[in-house]
Amino acid sequence: MNISIFAAGAWGTALAIVFSARHQVTLWTHDSDLAYSLLQERENRQFLPGFQFPNSLEIETDITKALAKADLLIVATPLLWFRETLASFRDCGPLKPLLWVCKGLEAGSAKLPHQVVDEELGDLFAEKAISYGALTGPSFAEEVARGLPTAVTLASTNLDFAQQMASQLYTPYFRVYANDDLPGAEIGGAAKNVIAVATGICDGLKLGLNARAALMTRGLAEITRLGIALGGRYTTFLGLAGMGDLILTCTGDLSRNRKVGLALAAGKKLSQILAELGHVAEGVSAARELARLSEKLQIEMPITRAVDDILHNDLPVLQAMEQLLSRDIKPETA
């Protein structure tokens, strides 16, 4: 299969490396300077240093050529540039089956990625009966590129397509599980980033492992409540796209969102944290959109709202923790 991956960040690069073991892969970037560096060094020293490219991996800056040669498109941009990338596909020739790997809710609209796809390309996909879906779950780019064992979810409303793509994309160390709960998988991927900021704050304040476990558990309850309200299935949130991704992002030292929380606990300002991070931390914008969404749907998400207040309303982290701990005691299932 010919695969074109759009965006040569850490995750796009990692997928290009792993999928090159079975397929012909093209890695596209709009940045001509980055493309030159990738071609000359056969390594992405800017976003994923230390991993040599397979000889077969091609680099492309012409989006029309990247689309034309592909049997499968994978968009690996941050959510911030997801809509713009999709829109650029409209005038570049026939569309192909599409996967995306971004996680979050679009800033300002609170739309999930599949809703953005439907708005930008839904008419073309429907006309040609082309399927699409999300590749999500617990996966750090560095570990995927290193060839360490990883298991992810490929979610699509078309289960046959999800199963077909899962069988095509798996490798002995990269297991792909098909799922037909696309909204649930996307909510799991978006909301866990916010809980990871909270657990980073918790660990930075040295509140202990008991507190971290409590935050993660109650965070999963928040994610599940919202996900079910948006059409997701309960079982999805117990799987790779829910609990699995939550555990990794809340505890792994490679987690960007956890790093944001640790830095907030150390007293750093958000603008400084993001400048030092050098990568997108989707939990920062997702916290704002999830808090608004929970208020609109009247769903209790106290951890999410506390993170939003810390990030966007300058609530001191200690005050936020005190507010969470002073909430009325309720049954655990509430």
Q: What pLDDT does residue 321 have?
A: 85
pTM of the model: 0.95
Q: What pLDDT does residue 147 have?
A: 97
Q: What pLDDT does residue 332 have?
A: 77
Q: What is the DSSP code (8-state) at residue 53?
A: P
Series of mean pLDDT values for 10-residue runs along the chain (334 residues)? 97 98 97 97 97 98 96 96 96 93 94 97 94 98 98 98 98 97 97 96 95 96 96 97 98 95 95 86 92 95 96 93 82 72
Q: What pLDDT does residue 281 have?
A: 84
Specify the amino acid at residue 135: L
In the block, tokens 């073309």 appear at 124
Q: Which residues are catalytic?
A: 192
Q: What pLDDT does residue 334 have?
A: 59
Q: Do 184-325 and 2-180 fall under one CATH topology? A: no
Q: What pLDDT does residue 93 have?
A: 84
Q: What pLDDT does residue 91 have?
A: 86
Phi, psi of 31 (to 5 degrees): -90, 105
CATH topology for the 2-180 domain: Rossmann fold (3.40.50)
Decide: 303 and 236 in contact? Cβ < 8 Å.
no
CATH topology for the 184-325 domain: N-(1-d-carboxylethyl)-l-norvaline Dehydrogenase; domain 2 (1.10.1040)
The residue ranges of every structural domain in the chain are 2-180, 184-325
Q: What pLDDT does residue 329 have?
A: 77
Decide: 101 and 77 in contact? Cβ < 8 Å.
no
Q: What is the DSSP string of 223-286?
A: HHHHHHHTT--GGGGGSIIIIIHHHHHHH-TT-HHHHHHHHHHTT--HHHHHHHH-S--HHHHH
Decide: 74 and 99 in contact? Cβ < 8 Å.
yes
In the block, tokens 């490929």 appear at 154
